[in-house]
Structures are given as structure tokens and as C-alpha cells.
Chains A and B, each alone.
Chain A
Amino acid sequence: MSASAIFILDLKGKVLISRNYMGNMDMNEVDHFMPIMMRMEEDADSSPLVTHGSAHFLWIKHRNLYLVAMTKKNANAALVYSFLYKMVEVFKEYFKELEEESIRDNFVTVYELMDEVMDFGFPQTTDSKILQEYITQQGHKLDVGAPRPPATVTNAVSWRSEGIKYRKNEVFMDVIESVNLLVSATGSVLRSEIVGSIKLKVVLSGMPELRLGLNDKVLFEITGREKSKTVELEDVKFHQCVRLSRFENDRTISFIPPDGESELMSYRLNTTVKPLIWIESVIEKFSHSRVEIKVKARSQFKSRSTANNVAIMVPVPSDADSPKFKTSTGSCKYLPEKSVVQWNIKSFPGGKEYMMRAHFGLPSVESTELEGRRPITVNFEIPYFTVSGIQVRYLKIIEKSGYEALPWVRYITQSGGETHTPFGPAVNPAITSLLKLGQEGFE
């Protein structure tokens, strides 16, 4: 059904650790994996799925490791990839970071985990909090104290153990939104999309029953309260704790939350949003001599909000040198390893406009390598503000012991600095490339 075996390889393709789940394939098949990868790399090709004879390798890369699943059947590929990513998550929870060192140092625990998360190719329990209850890192427990499988493993509520106790019961909610924009080279917004998520930090005793109310348009239509300000969620994805059929029936978000931090839901909506920080730029490249960059940033949100930690990343040619900067506010830094200038503005109030100029030298011998045109990216955070206007109307917490619990909500809009459209073509043939930049996206 899925993987016959799973391997963790180093960058050279050497097996650090492996687990043969089905025993129906030769484990040495994996030796073909890296040579195939190298060949593909030579051809500037890449695919997350490679084949050797009847063996299929599905792989992901994490830091300096390859996680490779091997199968010879018509495996469920989606399941395999999402399982591999889940494995990474579990290992990270256990070892802080998953890399070659942590695998070598903890091989016993890694074996134990691999034994527990998958059986005969079927993924089993992959919830690291629950795993930690019976696969401990110290592992020195002797006979009397040997852990038993927590009932949670097989329960319908497989993400929360019973008997959790806190003195003070609280729930913290973060509503985090980001905007994905697609801006054409001429500066018009082709597509905009808001991606949001609601993150929970749950500090609650027992098995609490939670109900979350949002200003969801569909819900308000059902209940006939169409006048209020609502948000139309295009697609919603929930943590497995949320009762999906209940949501499907009456849009109620009800759940028993996992303990600690988790992402309760994510949502996506397509609305026309203008860029929160508009960037205009002119990059003039005088071949063999210099690059001149002018960037103008304008905040397009209400003046009572403020964007914090704004970082504007402007790409420069990889062979540029001797940077000089001038800014109307904030400071600039040249990051040669990324070939970008990073312009940092600590606090950027709404309705303001700032400028930055940069000057770079270029070597007289030009590199022959073609460089991809990279976009300008912007990172920032705006607290107490969501672009979509989503609101948490209530969070009801019911536990049979009847304790009082406080819900806390925080709103924030972020930008991961993602962008899509390449820039326009060179305009002035005399100047090798004059790039007119559109506003780039946010995440």
C-alpha cells in the first residue's frame, strides 16, 4: 500500500539508518538512488519520484538528509510524501533539529520511532506528543515502570491524553493572515489571495469540549444574520481534532483540542486586496561598471496601524561589489550569500512613503552565467489587524469538572515575502537591463 522500506541518507547517498517494513525488496536497491539523482542533476532535471527497475523511490530532502521511501507496488504517493514530512516533524520534536548528527547520536530512539510510526508500510501513530508518552529518549525505565501504550494511541481522540492537569486554564489563539499577490510586470494585481491560519496554545485540564465561532458568511446565512460583517472562506482545512461532518452539516467548529501548541485550521479566500506595502523600483545596470537601484516603499493601510520589522529584499547581480546605500529611514545591509540588499525598517506606519538608493560596482569581466530574474520581496508584520476582517466571535470551553477558562485572541497580518511574476523585459537597450518592478507579494 505504501512503503516497503524507508531510508535516511546523507547527501552522498550513504544510508544512515533504514527500516525494512515489508521484507519484499532487496534493501541494496537503494544504492541506485543517488547515482540516478546525480544523473538527473546533470541533465538539470529533477523529480520527487525516481525509478530503478521495479523499484520506485519517493524522496524528500530535509537539511542535509534525504528521506527516501522505496516501493515496488502502486503505492499511494500522496500518503507516502505526507508521511515522510510527518516523520520529519516527529524527529524534530524529539531531537530539536533533524540532521545527520541527530540521527547518529540518537539511533536507538530513531529505530524505536521508526518501529512505531509505521507497520508493514501502514502509517500508525505519528502524533509526537502521544509518542513521547511511551517512547522516551532516556529510555532507561526498568521493568516496573515500563510504559504501556497510552489509550490515546487507539482512541477515537488520538491526539489528546486523559488526565492532563493545569492550575490555571487558558487558551491562546493567534489569527495569522498573509496575502499572496500576483502582480504583473506593469504593476496591476492579477490575483490576490488571503491565506490565514488559527493557531492554538491550549493550557486546559481534562478533556475539554471547545466550540469556536467565527464571522463565517455561510454560517450567518444559515442562521439568517446576513447583515453583520462576514467573511467568505473559500476553502478551510482543519486539524484532525475538528469534527468535519459537523462542520459540513451546520458549520460548527467543535473539537477536543490537542494539548499545547497546534494549528487548528487554515483557510483561504480570494478577494481583491491591494498590496499593503507598495514597492516601486528602478534598477539600472551599466554593464562592466555599476548597478544603481532606487526603491520607493509606500504603506497602503490605515494610519492607525503600523507594520513592524519590515524587511525589503532587493536582488542584485551575484558579482556586484562595493555597496553604498542611502535611505530616508531604516538601514540597509548587503547579503552577498543571497545576492540581495536587505532594507530594514523597524516600524512603518500606515500612509507613509520611504526611499532607498543603492549603488554597486560591477566587475569589468562579466560572468557568462545567465541569472534568473528574481523579484523583490517584502517581509513584515502588522499586529491587531487582519486583511480579511475575520473575527473570533466566541470560543466556548466546556469541561465536565466545570472550571472557568479564559480564551485570549490575537490578530496579526504577516508577509512571508512571496512573489510570482517575473519583471518586465529590458526597456532601454542602451542600458543593458532596466527593470521596472511591480509590487511583489506577501505571504
Chain B
Amino acid sequence: MVCSVSICAGEIFELKAELNSDKKEKKKEAVKKVIASMTVGKDVSALFPDVVNCMQTDNLELKKLVYLYLMNYAKSQPDMAIMAVNTFVKDCEDANPLIRALAVRTMGCIRVDKITEYLCEPLRKCLKDEDPYVRKTAAVCVAKLHDINAQLVEDQGFLDTLKDLISDSNPMVVANAVAALSEIAESHPNSNLLDLNPQSINKLLTALNECTEWGQIFILDCLANYTPRDDRESQSICERVTPRLSHANSAVVLSAVKVLMKFMEMLPKDLDYYSTLLKKLAPPLVTLLSAEPELQYVALRNINLIVQKRPEILKHEMKVFFVKYNDPIYVKLEKLDIMIRLASQANIAQVLAELKEYATEVDVDFVRKAVRAIGRCAIKVEQSAERCVSTLLDLIQTKVNYVVQEAIVVIKDIFRKYPNKYESVIATLCENLDSLDEPEARAAMIWIVGEYAERIDNADELLESFLEGFHDESTQVQLQLLTAIVKLFLKKPTETQELVQQVLSLATQDSDNPDLRDRGYIYWRLLSTDPVAAKEVVLAEKPLISEETDLIEPTLLEELICHIGTLASVYHKPPSAFVEGSRGVMHKRLPARTGNVKPEPLSLSPQLGGDIGGSPAMGAGFGAAPAVMPASLNAPVGGGLGDLFDLGGVGMPMGAYIPPKIVWLPAMKAKGLEISGTFARRAGVIQMELILTNKAMSVMTDFAIQFNRNSFGLAPAGPLQVLTPLGPNQTIEVSLPLSTVGPVMKMDPLNNLQVAVKNNIDVFYFSCQYPISMLFVEDGKMERQVFLATWKDIPNDNESQFQIKDCHLNSDAASSKLQGSNIFTIAKRTVEGQDMLYMSIKLSNGIWVLAELRVQAGNSNYTISLKCRAPEVSQCVFQCYEAVLKN
């Protein structure tokens, strides 16, 4: 036992003498003693010069010990650490690869700026060493050096050497190079370091078969950052990754699951392979539950995400999540959560039987959660509600205090879900009134009494009994009690006048809680001015609750799926919420389903502005941005086009016609505010046409709107004109003129628009896609000569070709239809029965798009070639053509 970390001078002196001894054995023993002191936390830095003197040795063990000492103390003695440089440099050229690697590995761990300069030359040599053991160590050393001095690494060209190592013949070198590059890329999210392309992906997939289990994880994690070009590439990667699901190491399995879950997103659902893949995922996930408990925990947290994203994978595997008596509590609680997620009409009987057993266990937390789970089952599976209620009543009969309280809390929710169905049990609940000592249970019981006051004969007595200790109750209970008594009064005004007076004065005069006071005043005024209105407000029909309240928000879920196996997936939080300095880092997203469309190369064009990765411009106007920003607010990782936000299918509404309004923000995600809308261009003005619906109970006011930076600088040209407050169940139509002079940031897809809407309740975020035709300006007709010159001038690489299928218009009809959307036909010629239409379009930001549309008589398939200096817009423009021509 070491009680102090100080070391006496005598001891130091003695060690000094031994370190300087001539005898090798004595020297080594002395260094060992020094290391032993270091290990127990004594400060032996005073011996620095003496220990470093022992570095020049041919004894490997002694060398390792000195190196270890150096790693520990170099930082505190930077000047003296220089003394060691020579030996390091020499060791990097030793005949024994073990020593070379040891030297380069240790040097990288000495985080002293002065030393790093000397490290460059040896490192350069070691990166090209003939021995793979040295090369793999050097690869990691580049990441270490980068962490100390990033600029140096870039200037010295180490990053390129590191990239070359991805093609190394040795799998271990490849794996470490991938790991090092990923690590570096993580701190430089916008660098194009991991320049993944089909060739490099192929190399990685080959190395995957040959490297160690850890190397496989590095490679799989790296693959997960790649976005395949199309569904075929996606499938071929999946095919080569699936064998990893049979690996004995759980971490390899989880990383493989991550890649598959992500790439699966791109596969068409009707593909046979898609369903094969789904089936392949279940058994390995189940087997993860036989791993060590900590790994089981990670697996369960991830399964929780997977079940939310793709419930079909594990829907038949309910039983494997049944709790084992010797599971650690954290495993038990997670299993319970997943059981509820998987509960369905088919398996509810078994689930309930299990939950009932759990509710009689001894572990309090577990029992509580089990009782709650029974309530959640009732809400989730309607057919089981009755059985759940009777199970809960049985549990209440046990009179175990915390069981009763939990049961009452969940029964309240069941009443909310199935009104007028199970009120017969109220009497039983009332019997247990006295035993409730937890605020949540008391509040729930008071709510029940108030809500059903007309059926409870002695409701006034019951509520009065709570009133005695009003000021000792928690806020939750006080608020509930206030509302319940007002409800009671509105239902039985004659006998409860005194009671309501009492509670109102308690709430407004004797309380210093503003929430309570305000609610009290509101009730008071309502009751005194307009009892009818009071009735409408207080006794209004409540919206039904659903069991989906605990689901993870979809954009977050997508992001977490991209982080399977990591801490983020365990915490169910995006990395930006718990990793310092990652706020500006891009959020990962699942790739979009591409179908068979060729996606555009995603190079940035100067016309579109290039400040990807900047902090979101939005949110500032509304005060502090929420800690967890929806993924959509940040610049997305490159990917295909498509509809990530589930706004009703892939097809984007386009053209001069006004696309039908679709729901952009469902009420469930915005505390009752539902927003649907569309875009239109009317008389040269871009309009965002919105329908706001209030599905909540309270009045909404103070609406405001903001856009995130977007590809074409769209911004509201004025405030959102919602002048009157929006009452419950009210709907209002607003149209918002837009300008194109706002800040620019390239979005993916290009026509993605991220919107924040504020009201008196909160700020809500959603994103939508506008038809790019909205931006086609009226003066987009190019001169013929200019058209010809421009067409020639734009490099052929910028040309993209598309097919429009099943279009039955002749060329003239098409031309006039397109003109309606500011797509102007400049010339037309006919060659061998094929009409060629030449057209021009000008975007609001001055970008010209030139088009050649070929229409063959009797062929319903058009071919269109688009040329533009900013080729990334071609895809959107093409989609416009398609939408306009077909509508």
C-alpha cells in the first residue's frame, strides 16, 4: 500500500547511483524500480537525465522501460526530452523491425512540439519500410502526429502517403491506414480525406476478408461513411459485407449491421435481395444476446433503434427478449423496452404473462418498469386493453405500495386512450388513495377523480382531503388538484362552491409559484366572467394519446442508425450532444433511395456558394438553438437525391401547375401545430403557400418563420402574416412571398429547404423540397446565337442525358406547356422524323441551363440533354421537365 505519492530524496539518490552503475543488470533493475514507482503514482521525474542515459542499450526490455518512462515524463521535461531524439532516430534505422516500430510508436506518443519536427524524417522512412509491422505502426503514427500538429502532417505530405497505404499489399497495414485516416477525417469533417470511390471501396472489401477482427471493424466503420452511387453498388457491397455477420466477435457483427442497415436504405423494397437481407439480419442480432452482459447492453440499445427503424426484422423474435433471472438490471430494463416495442396482437398474451411475472419480482426499478409496460401494452394493442386492465387490478390487490402507484399512473393513461370504457375500476382505485405518496401517482389519481367527478359520489370529499396539505404537495400535484376541483365545480356547481373558492385562493394568494398562480387566475377569471366558456375550456374533449410518444424522432433515428455500435447509439443521442467540439460537424444521414437515376457528381460550384459546414444560420433569431438540432439543419453528408423526410413518396411536385399541398410538419412532432404547404410562382413572385392547423388544446400566437441557408438563397420577403391567434382546431391559409437574396449554402438535395417555424409554444423545424421551376425567371429566353455559342462553350463533361418515359405530347404541345413554366424554346428542327427542341432556362441566381429535347413521333420516350456550367442542377431541372410534361 502506498500512502503518499512523494518519494524521499534518499531514495532518489540511491536510484540515481544505480542508474549510473556500470553493470547492465543493476541498471535494468534500477529502471524497473523507477517504473514501479511511477506505476504507483510517485513522481520520479527528477531522474529524467539518468533514465534517458540508459536508453542507448541493446537490451530490448530495458529499452522498452526507458521508452515507457519517456512517454510519461517527456511532457513535463520538454527540453531534456530532446536528449532522447538521437536515439529515437537511430532506433528507427535499427536492423530489427521490432525496434524500428517501437521507436516510431513511442516517438508519436511523446507530445512535445520540438520533438515532432525530428520525427518527420524517420516517420517518412518507416512509412515505406519493407517490414509490414513497421509500416502498420507508422500509419498509426501519422494520426498521432496529426493530433499534435496537423499543419505539419499536411505540409510534409504524410496524408498522401497514408492514402497510398490503403493499397498496401498487407491487410494489417491497410486496416491501420484506414483507421488512421478515419480518425484524422473525424477531426476535419470537411476535408475530402477519405476519398471513397468504387475502386478504393473494392480494395477495402478485399482487405476485409484478410485482416484481424479489429481491422475488420475499422474497415466496416469506414465503409459505413460511404454513400454508394446507386442501388446496384449498394447491393454488391451488402453482399460482400453479410458474411461478417457470422464473425465470433460481436463488435464485428454490429459494425456489419451498421453498414447493412445504412445501405439497405438504398435498395428498392420490391427487390428479392432486400427481403433476403432482412431475413439475414435477425439471427445474428439474436445471437448478440448470448455475449457478455456489457456487449448485450450495447446490442440491446442498438436493437432498440433497429426495431424502431425496421420493425419487420425482429417481429417474430419476441421470446428472445424475455428476461433471465440472472441478467444484470441494465439488461433487464432494456429487454423490457424492446418487448413493448415488439408487442403486437399476435404475441400479446405471452408478453402479458411475462410482464405479470416481472411485476412480482423484488427489484423495485424493474417492477415499476414492468407495471408501466403493462399499461403501454394496453395502449399499444387495443385488443389487449381489457386483459391489461384486469392484470393491473390484480397487481393493485397485492397492496405493494410502489406497484399500486405505478399501476394508477398507467391506468390514467389507459383512461385517456379508451375513454368511457374502464371507468368501472375507479372504485378500486379510490380505495388506495391513502397509500399514494409519490407525486406522479397522486397527480394521476387526482386527475382521475376530477375527470370522472360526476361518477364518484364523494369526489368532493376525496379532493378536499388532498387540499389540507396543499402547500406541501409538489407543483405537479397542486396543478392537478386545482384543475380537478375546477372540473368538479363545473360538473356539480351547487355543492362545491366553497371548495373551488378555497383552492383558487390557495393557488393565487398563498402560492409563489407563477405557473400555479397564473392557472389559478385564468380559472378564476373564466369562472367569474363566462362559465359557459369555462366549461368549454376546462371540460373540452381531450385528444387521444398514442403509444408512439416515446419513439425517437425520425431524423435523429436516422442519424443514430449511422452510428450503430458507438456511444451515440448507446446514449440514443447524436455525437454532437456529448462530444466536445463536434457542434459544427456534419450529422450523418442515411442515403436516399436512388432508384435507377444516375445521381449527379457532387462537386461544389462557385456559383452555388461553398460554405458547407458553417454553423447553421438559423435559430439565432429565436434565442438559443436547441442542444440537439435536427439533423436537417446542418449541411448533409453527400448523397443521392431523394426524399429523406418522408414527405409522401419520392416524386417531387413540379411545374407551372401548383403541386398539391402536402404535410410538411405533422402535428405529432410540433406540439399540435400541423403545417402543410406548397410552392408556386405567381407573376414572377415566388410564393410559399402554407396551411397552419392548430390541433392542440391551446391557442397559438406569435408565429414567425425563418429559413436555413439554402442553395438558392431563398428567404421570406416579409413576416409570416398570421395576425389573429390560431384557436384549437382552427386552420389558416397564409401565403408567404419569398426573395432569393438570402444567404446561400449548398443543400443536398439541391432543392431542399429547411424551415423553422416559431409560435408561442416552441420552435419547430422541418424541411421540404421546392420545385426548382419556381426559380426559372421570365426573361430566360436566350438569343439563338448566344445559345449556340454557349452550348459549344460548356464542356461536354457537364452534359447529362435523361429519359422521360410515357409522355404522349407532341413537340409543340410540350413546348407550349414548358413555356408556362418559363422554359423557353429557342429553335426547333426536324431530322429523320425526330423533333429536336432547343431550350433555355435562367435561374434566379443567373445560372443558365441549356436543353435539347428529342421527341420521336410514335415513341412515348423523350430524350433530354442538359448542359449547364453548374451541372448539379441538371437533376432537379430534369425532374421539373418530367413533372411539367406529365401534369
In the complex, which residues of chain B have a beta carbon less than 8 angstroms from the beta carbon of A71?
Answer: 567
Do A82 and B251 touch (CB < 8 A)? yes
Proximity string of chain B (294-319) to chain A, C-beta cutoff 8 Å, 1 when within and 0 when not = 11011100000000000000000001
- Judge if A23 is at the interface, Cβ distance under 8 Å: yes
In the complex, which residues of chain B have a beta carbon less than 8 angstroms from the beta carbon of A139?
Answer: 60-61
Given A47-B330, A56-B567: A76 in contact with B325 (beta carbons within 8 A): no
A397 smallest CB distance to B (angstroms): 22
- Judge if B147 is at the interface, Cβ distance under 8 Å: yes
Given A126-B214, A154-B170, A420-B325: A74 in contact with B209 (beta carbons within 8 A): no
| CB-contact partner of B323 in A21, A185, A420, under 8 A | A420
Q: In the assembly, what is the distance between CA of A136 and CA of B830, in Å? A: 84
Do A76 and B35 touch (CB < 8 A)? no
| CB-contact partner of A268 in B99, B249, B283, under 8 A | B283
B752 smallest CB distance to A (angstroms): 25
In the complex, which residues of chain B have a beta carbon less than 8 angstroms from the beta carbon of A112?
Answer: 61, 64
- Judge if B375 is at the interface, Cβ distance under 8 Å: no
Do B251 and A76 touch (CB < 8 A)? yes
| CB-contact partner of B247 in A111, A121, A238, under 8 A | A238
Q: In the assembly, what is the distance between CA of A158 and CA of B575, in Å? A: 34
In the complex, which residues of chain A have a beta carbon less than 8 angstroms from the beta carbon of B99?
Answer: 146
Proximity string of chain A (33-77) to chain B, C-beta cutoff 8 Å, 1 when within and 0 when not = 000000000001111110100101011100000000001111111
| CB-contact partner of A422 in B132, B141, B171, B360, under 8 A | B360
Taking CB atoms and an 8 Å cut-off, the chain A residues in 213-240 that contact chain B are 234-240
B300 smallest CB distance to A (angstroms): 11
| CB-contact partner of B105 in A76, A119, A127, under 8 A | A119
Do B247 and A123 touch (CB < 8 A)? no
- Judge if B357 is at the interface, Cβ distance under 8 Å: yes
Given A154-B132, A244-B247: A125 in contact with B325 (beta carbons within 8 A): no
| Interface stretch (choices B236-244, B444-452, B819-827) | B236-244
Taking CB atoms and an 8 Å cut-off, the chain A residues in 386-443 that contact chain B are 418-422, 425
A62 smallest CB distance to B (angstroms): 11
Q: In the assembly, what is the distance between CA of A185 and CA of B361, in Å? A: 14
Q: Which of A24, A85, A265 has the most CB of B within 10 A?
A: A85
Do A248 and B246 touch (CB < 8 A)? yes
Q: In the assembly, what is the distance between CA of A418 and CA of B326, in Å? A: 9
List 11 other contacts, CB 8 Å, given A22-B144, A142-B58, A239-B248.
A1-B183, A79-B251, A119-B140, A123-B214, A191-B320, A237-B248, A265-B248, A372-B362, A375-B325, A418-B324, A422-B360
A59 smallest CB distance to B (angstroms): 8
In the complex, which residues of chain A have a beta carbon less than 8 angstroms from the beta carbon of B105?
Answer: 115, 119
What are 17 A-B pairs at a CB distance below 8 A?
Answer: A23-B109, A45-B329, A54-B578, A74-B582, A77-B298, A77-B565, A108-B32, A112-B61, A115-B68, A147-B98, A148-B98, A266-B248, A268-B283, A372-B361, A375-B325, A422-B360, A425-B360
Q: In the assembly, what is the distance between CA of A109 and CA of B749, in Å? A: 55
Do B65 and A149 touch (CB < 8 A)? no
In the complex, which residues of chain B have a beta carbon less than 8 angstroms from the beta carbon of A153?
Answer: 133, 172
Q: In the assembly, what is the distance between CA of A85 and CA of B108, in Å? A: 27
| CB-contact partner of B209 in A17, A154, A236, A244, under 8 A | A244
Proximity string of chain B (41-66) to chain A, C-beta cutoff 8 Å, 1 when within and 0 when not = 10000000000000000111100110
- Judge if A243 is at the interface, Cβ distance under 8 Å: yes
A160 smallest CB distance to B (angstroms): 13
Do B182 and A1 touch (CB < 8 A)? yes
Do B566 and A111 touch (CB < 8 A)? no
Do B68 and A237 touch (CB < 8 A)? no
- Judge if A365 is at the interface, Cβ distance under 8 Å: no
In the complex, which residues of chain B have a beta carbon less than 8 angstroms from the beta carbon of A154?
Answer: 132-133, 136, 170-173
- Judge if B255 is at the interface, Cβ distance under 8 Å: yes
In the complex, which residues of chain A have a beta carbon less than 8 angstroms from the beta carbon of B337?
Answer: none
- Judge if B39 is at the interface, Cβ distance under 8 Å: yes
- Judge if A96 is at the interface, Cβ distance under 8 Å: no
Q: Which of A134, A149, A155, A184 has the most CB of B within 10 A?
A: A149
Chain A residue at minimum C-beta to C-beta distance from B564: A78
B residues adjacent to A (C-beta < 8 A)? 32, 35-36, 39, 41, 58-61, 64-65, 68, 71-72, 96-99, 101, 105, 108-109, 111, 131-133, 136-137, 140-141, 143-144, 147, 170-173, 176, 179-180, 182-183, 186, 209-214, 217-218, 221, 240, 242-244, 246-251, 254-255, 283-284, 286-287, 290, 292-295, 297-299, 319-320, 322-326, 328-330, 350, 353, 357, 360-365, 563, 565-570, 575, 578-580, 582
Given A54-B578, A120-B140: A17 in contact with B39 (beta carbons within 8 A): yes
In the complex, which residues of chain A have a beta carbon less than 8 angstroms from the beta carbon of B353?
Answer: 184
Q: In the assembly, what is the distance between CA of A146 and CA of B94, in Å? A: 12
Chain B residue at minimum C-beta to C-beta distance from A234: B283
In the complex, which residues of chain A have a beta carbon less than 8 angstroms from the beta carbon of B214?
Answer: 79, 83, 122-124, 126
A66 smallest CB distance to B (angstroms): 12
- Judge if A245 is at the interface, Cβ distance under 8 Å: yes
Q: In the assembly, what is the distance between CA of A73 and CA of B567, in Å? A: 8
- Judge if A299 is at the interface, Cβ distance under 8 Å: no
Q: In the assembly, what is the distance between CA of A20 and CA of B147, in Å? A: 14
Q: In the assembly, what is the distance between CA of A149 and CA of B286, in Å? A: 39
Q: In the assembly, what is the distance between CA of A328 and CA of B501, in Å? A: 77
In the complex, which residues of chain A have a beta carbon less than 8 angstroms from the beta carbon of B323?
Answer: 420
Given A191-B322, A235-B286, A247-B243: A74 in contact with B579 (beta carbons within 8 A): yes
Do A72 and B580 touch (CB < 8 A)? yes
In the complex, which residues of chain B have a beta carbon less than 8 angstroms from the beta carbon of A127?
Answer: 212
A20 smallest CB distance to B (angstroms): 7
Q: In the assembly, what is the distance between CA of A122 and CA of B286, in Å? A: 27
Do B179 and A122 touch (CB < 8 A)? yes
- Judge if A167 is at the interface, Cβ distance under 8 Å: no
B346 smallest CB distance to A (angstroms): 15
Chain A residue at minimum C-beta to C-beta distance from B326: A418
Across the A-B interface, the 3 shortest Cβ-Cβ residue pairs: A235-B283, A143-B58, A244-B243
Do B247 and A1 touch (CB < 8 A)? no
Chain A residue at minimum C-beta to C-beta distance from B75: A23
Proximity string of chain A (263-302) to chain B, C-beta cutoff 8 Å, 1 when within and 0 when not = 1011010000000000000000000000000000000000
Q: In the assembly, what is the distance between CA of A88 and CA of B563, in Å? A: 27
Do A108 and B35 touch (CB < 8 A)? yes
Do B295 and A82 touch (CB < 8 A)? yes
Q: In the assembly, what is the distance between CA of A240 and CA of B215, in Å? A: 12
- Judge if A140 is at the interface, Cβ distance under 8 Å: yes
In the complex, which residues of chain A have a beta carbon less than 8 angstroms from the beta carbon of B183?
Answer: 1, 120-121
B128 smallest CB distance to A (angstroms): 15
Q: In the assembly, what is the distance between CA of A154 and CA of B135, in Å? A: 10
Chain B residue at minimum C-beta to C-beta distance from A370: B362
In the complex, which residues of chain A have a beta carbon less than 8 angstroms from the beta carbon of B240?
Answer: 245
Do B287 and A237 touch (CB < 8 A)? yes
Taking CB atoms and an 8 Å cut-off, the chain A residues in 102-119 that contact chain B are 107-108, 111-112, 115, 119
Q: In the assembly, what is the distance between CA of A143 and CA of B240, in Å? A: 46
Do A22 and B147 touch (CB < 8 A)? yes
Do B64 and A115 touch (CB < 8 A)? yes
In the complex, which residues of chain B have a beta carbon less than 8 angstroms from the beta carbon of A45?
Answer: 329, 365
Q: In the assembly, what is the distance between CA of A325 and CA of B246, in Å? A: 48
Do B248 and A419 touch (CB < 8 A)? no
Q: In the assembly, what is the distance between CA of A165 and CA of B290, in Å? A: 37
Do A420 and B322 touch (CB < 8 A)? yes
B548 smallest CB distance to A (angstroms): 26
Q: Which of B32, B39, B218, B297 has the most CB of A within 10 A?
A: B39
Q: Which of A71, A108, A265 has the most CB of B within 10 A?
A: A108
B790 smallest CB distance to A (angstroms): 48
Chain A residue at minimum C-beta to C-beta distance from B358: A422
Do B246 and A236 touch (CB < 8 A)? yes
In the complex, which residues of chain A have a beta carbon less than 8 angstroms from the beta carbon of B64?
Answer: 111-112, 115
Q: In the assembly, what is the distance between CA of A247 and CA of B324, in Å? A: 33
In the complex, which residues of chain A have a beta carbon less than 8 angstroms from the beta carbon of B287?
Answer: 235, 237, 268
Do A149 and B247 touch (CB < 8 A)? no
In the complex, which residues of chain B have a beta carbon less than 8 angstroms from the beta carbon of A304?
Answer: none
Do B324 and A420 touch (CB < 8 A)? yes
In the complex, which residues of chain A have a beta carbon less than 8 angstroms from the beta carbon of B59?
Answer: 142-143
Q: In the assembly, what is the distance between CA of A82 and CA of B212, in Å? A: 14
